[in-house]
Amino acid sequence: MTARVGIGYDLHPLAEGRRLVLGGVEIPGADRGLVGHSDADALTHAIIDALLGAAGLGDIGQHFPDTDERWRDANSLTLLAEVCTFLEDHGWTPIHFDATVICETPRLAPHRDAMRLSLAETAGLQPLEVNVKFTTNEGLGVMGRAEAIAATAVATVERAG
């Protein structure tokens, strides 16, 4: 068995008139949401890049270019499912994710279990194999001023042989 780890990072700006979706979960009552070509789910995007990195298969921009109308307002869980299938075609199986979301506001902790469940179900994992952590930027920088939300992730994948 060969195991590999990859890292991912993503950031999207916050703006009014957008839904706030993280880890495939729409945060109810959020007054602003993330701006991007897809649903701008920075947490799921960081995990996708971690998976692609672990398997040595490029990055999210190569597979889902923001010039492609197919991915406009796309549900990022759909992109995650496509990436998991792509990895399986190359013999890789995801076994673990760990992620940190850097978000000043709103408070995301009440939605942690829902995020773990939706990410795990999409990737064929158990919720205990998907860890999601939250932190603030202590009021500093674009995240601290709540102008953006960022996420980092690591993913572990394995391949037989």
Residue least distant from Mg ion (Cβ) = 45
| CB closer to Mg ion, 75 vs 127 | 75
Q: How far is the CB of 118 from Mg ion (least distance, A)?
A: 17
> For the chain, what is the HEC assignment?
CEEEEEEEEEEEEEEECCCCEECCEECCCCCEEECCCCCCCHHHHHHHHHHHHHHCCCCHHHHCCCCCHHHCCCCHHHHHHHHHHHHHHCCCEEEEEEEEEECCCCCCHHHHHHHHHHHHHHHCCCHHHEEEEEECCCCCHHHHCCCEEEEEEEEEEEECC
Nearest alpha carbon to residue 133 among 96, 104, 95, 101: 101
CB of 3 to Mg ion, least distance (A): 26
Between 42 and 87, name the residue whose CB sits nearer to Mg ion.
42
For residue 42, the minimal CB distance to Mg ion (Å) is: 6
Nearer to Mg ion, 44 or 93 (CB): 44
Give min distance, CB of 91 to Mg ion, in A. 26
Q: Which is nearer to Mg ion, 10 or 104 (CB)?
A: 10
Catalog residues that contact Mg ion under the rule CB under 5 A.
Answer: 10, 45
* Nearer to Mg ion among residue 78 and residue 158 (C-beta): 78
Minimum CB separation of residue 128 from Mg ion in Å reads 26
